[in-house]
Structure 1
Amino acid sequence: MAKNITTDPITLEVLRNALQSVAEEMGAILTRTALSPNIKDRRDCSTAIYTPRGSLVAQAEHIPLHLGLMPTVVKAVLKHFPAEKLAPGDAIIINDPYTSGSHLPDICIISPVFYGRRPIALVANLAHHVDVGGAAPGSMSTATTEIFQEGIRIPPVKISSKGHLNRDLLRVLAHNVRTSEEFYGDIQAQLSANQVGIQRLQELVRRTGMDTLAYYMDEIINYAERRIRAALEELPAGIYQFYDYLEGDGIDEELIKITTTVEIKDGTARVDFTGTGPQARGPVNATRGVTLACVYFAIKAVADPELPASEGIARAVEVITPPGTLVNPRFPAPVAHANINTAQRITDVVLGALAQAAPHRVTAAGTGSMSNFTIGGRDNRGRYYSYVETYGGGQGAKYNQDGLDGVHVNMTNTMNTPVEILELNYPLLVERYGLIPDSGGPGKFRGGTGLVREIKALEDATVSVSTERNIRRPWGLQGGAPGKSSRCYIKLPGGTRQEMPGKFTRSVPRDTAVILETAGGGGFGNPRDRSPEAVRQDVRSGLVSGEAARKQYGIELDEELN
């Protein structure tokens, strides 16, 4: 690297935005060329750029959970395939959670970027595939007790070598999944996204020069570190503790404690999960990579929400995850539903601790789960299908704003599958989809409402549902009331309706309907301090009933609103 380069703020910002744009374009290519609705419609994926050493430089604004996961997997892969030993046209595939930090449906593809013979960067993307084998369609069974039951594990291996696709490996992988056609299409989309990233970075280095680009990639990370440290300096120094519970592991219903101690001091944060319960028998264990992602998100959201994602955030945050616990399990513990539920609870406890330091920067608890809903089997032509979706719910309110209704919160940011797309691609019928009145926690500022979706299976199928806040409602802040709990029901063909636990996997006959109601968000402040006009508007919008307006808010409505 040239020794006479000095940091110019304008150049830094121009190149930071240029690299961010490359990551965003990679994401656009991935979602526009993918085959499965889970990626092309729901956008359950992320794209990013790294230094040749594996340090995150820029990440597209997709899914917060991947903020900590993707750097984990890239650095792990570099231990097996150092950048200097790779060649142009190479691409590495991996999904093993005990290397990548995620769960098996999240398949990551990493490609080196060369200019001449010199590696100048790495590009990577991570996408949730609708099936990777295992005990149940969608590879999201709630009843697994070891990772071997959750699907095929892919160690770091080359899917492409010097531009030549490893078709034998692809055949082996596709042979072990139910939806092989979608698998092939989505893998090709991932490879295409990386190829676009490679081309754009090569174009950029032709304009800047290799030394300049390498220098500013490091400076972007240094800039993020300076900003997060400055933001942490603004928070009151101190030690803050909080705990909450996960509602069972899918096998046992016993509550599992997650506790954290957050110490803010001298522009740093130390987050310690000592005291958290031991790793679970069921598939809710969160690898350290998942836990890191949750911590980085919560710190960033409270200290500096506008800070671009990069390695710099991690430099100011120490995270302690005792081995053998729910937040850092030992192999071969199952992990499929940690992303869905445990990640959200880890985030809740970190935010709960930070609320003591900065109450006006933290929302009340949200819906508390990504609420996974999976139905799979064979359609009337005998072809395997797998519908996978995570559902939104109520966002927690904050000191000056109501929570949003029926949205994804905290660690997830996917879109919904439109009803027309769902019914076109799968033997399913959507019978109901909407917001749930009175599910948002009352407060001076109301928590967001949960949503309900009722789906009928038109053929025999296997259903897996995994949600939280079925027992312990999303907490409010500063006198705000908790949001309404989640609920799940199965309506059998004869009309019998059964209430189900928050986590289950079971076979159902054709014409069975599954109804999932997600939790609302907690309220902020005393409900009696809410503006009467805001309550009336809630009633007009169907978000609050007239009875709740009287009982919770003490508002007598005009006759035309009753």
Structure 2
Amino acid sequence: MNDPIMLEVFKNKLSAIAEEMGVLLQRTAFSPNIKERKDFSCAIFDNKGRLVSQAAHIPVHLGSMPLSVKSALELVNFEEGDAVILNDPYRGGTHLPDITLVSPVFIEGKPAFFVANRAHHADVGGISSGSMPLSSSIFQEGLVIPPVKLIEKGKIKKEIIQIIKSNTRTPEEREGDLFAQISANLTGIKRLKELVSNYSLQTVLQYMEALNDYSEKMMRNRIKQIPDGTYTFHDYIEDDGLGNKDIKISVEITVSKNDVSLDFTKSSPQTQGSVNAVRAITVSAVYYVFRSLIKRDIPTNDGCFKPINVITKKGTVVDCTYPFPVSAGNVETSQRIVDVVLGALSKAIPEEIPAASQGTMNNLTIGGINPETGRPFTYYETIGGGMGASSISDGESAIQSHMTNTLNTPVEAVEFEYPFMVERYCIRKGSGGDGLLRGGDGIIRSIKLLTDAEITVISERRRIPPYGLFGGKPGEVGRNEVIHRGRKIIEAGKFSRKLKKGDTITIYTPGGGGYGKPTP
């Protein structure tokens, strides 16, 4: 019989271990993307690769990190002191900049648990700085790392580090971030061993299983509150950056008692550009939506997702096949999958679902040579926008939403680390959709280059606005603006170009949709 007090104790202890891993990763990382923006996730798994606890980090990693762990378990024979590195999207990854490190926790000579973390590296090679190119193949996006041992029996394999460093524009930064990931896993291993020492392996495993059962019960109770039926919705990715437009994302949600099935098979075929999502991304987006429907503080673990069945079709934009490009699928298509799932659920539980948020991460990468050091630099950032209004409140303004949970890079950090001047950073007033309750406003961020550089922008909602609900107006679309040699250029949602010293890139991010008919 499980003690309910001890169940709560273990819930918080396991969560605290994952959170502590994240704190150490952030504080020891080299790149602003990790140490300032917190673009990473940390989690604990059982010896079968099932998710036990994940810190409240990046939602897009929610369903994909377990697949990376299971892939590592299938392909590698773990020994004590090992750590496996991978980023392959077709083996549980998301896109190539997201590098995952998996480490076993040996107890009594056997792997009892696994700890893992995933961090977005600012550059892993590829045809453009920042490894977020307008690509037509995964080979153009950077170095693909299958599950291989980075650490073997406690000894770091320096040749693996050297291969990674030799394929990136910023080798010292990559090495520093990898060592931060190693340190985070070592902390997780240490804390889990202390937990077993204090309570016994049998007790820890007992309460891990009990927490899984508890989360499953809570999810089934939540699904049961959604009226039985079938609900459909579709929306579009505007383009893939290579001329293909209006790429459909479609879902059919069937709720039956305390189970739910989501069918994405009517979505568009995989496309030439990089907006393709591997199945892991689609699963992550679905899990995020349903986890967010539960207002109580329950553990995020494998049990949460047992009642949820995700159906995809190979060769579609939501379940692409090797070697199609995927760099934007992780950041942009994931957002649209959330939009369509929420849109369908709004027909079932209208008072509990918000209007569309900005629906994009406004990815900006800039790379060049730093004139002060003579070394290459790569800058990567996602920029917040407006959240959709709900039945109880206006949408939040100038915030990261849905599948990203990162912070912004502070102006001071940007100007300290890079040859940039941030000329403008403010709320984009009035960009939220009107309604009984208004959508949140977007952001204006303007960066002046102090050296020649190559920029790439991957963004959405530049043509099709974030939808309002129940009479609410859509949010305003975003805009990408370049001033090149004194001439203003309105760019497409996805573009890459070389700029000169003194040129400026300004991103106007979308507002969120409104909710309900505006009052006269």
If the TM-score is normalised by the length of the shorter chain, which range does it land in? Answer: over 0.9
Moved more, 287-296 or 374-383: 374-383
Instruction: Name the residue aligned to 2:8.
Output: 13
Q: Does the 8 Å CA contact 2:244/2:271 hold for their aligned counterparts? A: no
Q: Which residue number corresponds to residue 438 of structure 1?
A: 430
Which of the residues 413, 417, 436 maps onto 2:405?
A: 413
Q: Which residue of 2 aligns with 1:105?
A: 97
Query: How far did residue 303 of structure 1 move?
Result: 4.7
Q: Which residue of 1 aligns with 2:63?
A: 68
Deviation at 1:87, TM superposition (A): 2.0
Find the counterpart in structure 2 of residue 38 from structure 1: 33
- SS of the aligned residue for 1:65 comes to helix
Native 8 Å contact 1:397 1:522 kept in 2: yes
Which of 1 and 2 has greater Rg?
Answer: 1
SS in 1 for 2:52: strand
Counterpart-to-counterpart distance in 1, 2:267 and 2:79: 44
1:483-498 equivalent positions in 2, closer than 5 A: 483-493=475-485, 495-498=486-489
Tell me, in whole angstroms, the C-alpha distance in 2 between the residues paired with 1:304 and 1:326: 31
State the match for 1:336 in structure 2: 327
Aligned-partner residue type, residue 411 of structure 1: M
For residues 102-125 of structure 1, give each alpha carbon's deviation from its aligned partner in whole angstroms, at most 9, with x where no partner exists: 000000000001123122210000
For 1:281, the equivalent position in structure 2 comes to: 272
Change in Cα spacing, 1:43 to 1:234, as seen in structure 2 (3 Å) is same
How far is the alpha carbon of 1:440 from its aligned partner?
0.5
Q: Distance in 2 between matches of 1:353 and 1:137?
A: 38
The Cα shift of 1:302 comes to 2.5
Asked if 1:364 corresponds to 2:355, the answer is yes
Residue deviations 1:317-345, cap 9 Å, x none? 00011000000011100000112210000
C-alpha contact (below 8 Å) 1:48/1:56 kept by paired residues: yes
1:408-428 Cα distance to aligned partner (Å, 9 max, x none):
111111000000100110111
Give the counterpart letter for 2:259 in structure 1.
T
The amino acid that maps onto 2:393 is Q
What is the aligned-residue identity percentage? 45
CA gap 1:126/1:346 in 2 versus in 1, 3 angstroms:
same
Cα distance in 2 for partners of 1:498, 1:518 equals: 17
1:12 to partner: Cα distance: 1.4
Counterparts of 2:25 and 2:294, CA distance in 1: 31
List gaps (5 residues or longer) in structure 2.
Answer: none
Alignment of 1:116-131 (within 5 A): 116-131=108-123
Task: Choose from 256, 266, 277 the match for 1:265.
Answer: 256
AA aligned to 2:115 is V
| CA shift for structure 1 position 511 | 1.2
- TM-score, with normalisation over the residues of structure 1? 0.91
Q: d(CA) in 2 for partners of 1:304 and 1:98?
A: 33
- Preserved contact between residue 11 and residue 299 of structure 2 (Cα < 8 Å): no
Give the C-alpha shift of residue 447 in structure 1.
0.3
| Offset of residue 460 of structure 1 | 1.1
**Partners of 1:316 and 1:168 in 2: CA distance:** 43
State yes or no: 1:355 paired with 2:355.
Answer: no
1:297 is aligned to 288
| Alignment of 1:450 onto 2:437 | no
- The Cα shift of 1:313 comes to 2.0
Q: CA deviation at 1:314?
A: 2.1
TM-score w.r.t. length of structure 2: 0.98
Q: 1:346 aligns with which of 337, 344, 351?
A: 337
Contact 2:270 2:315 in 1 (8 A): yes
Structure 1 vs Structure 2 CA RMSD: 1.0
Structure 1 gaps of 5+ residues are 1-5, 529-553, 555-562
1:217-274 Cα shifts (integer Å, max 9, x gaps): 1221111111101110111111000000000001114110110000111201100002
The partner residue of 1:520 within 508, 511, 518 is: 511
Q: Over residues 1-43 of structure 1, what are the superposed CA-to-partner deviations in whole Å (9 max), with x where a residue is unaligned?
A: xxxxx32222111111100000000000000100000000000
Query: 1:382 Cα deviation (Å)?
Result: 2.2
Q: Which amino acid aligns with 1:260?
A: V
* Counterpart for residue 375 of structure 1: 366
| Partner deviation per Cα, 1:424-478 (whole Å, 9 max, x = no partner) | 1011111111011110101111100010101011111110111111111111111
Contact kept, 8 Å, 1:231 with 1:304, in 2: the verdict is no
SS in 1 for 2:361: coil
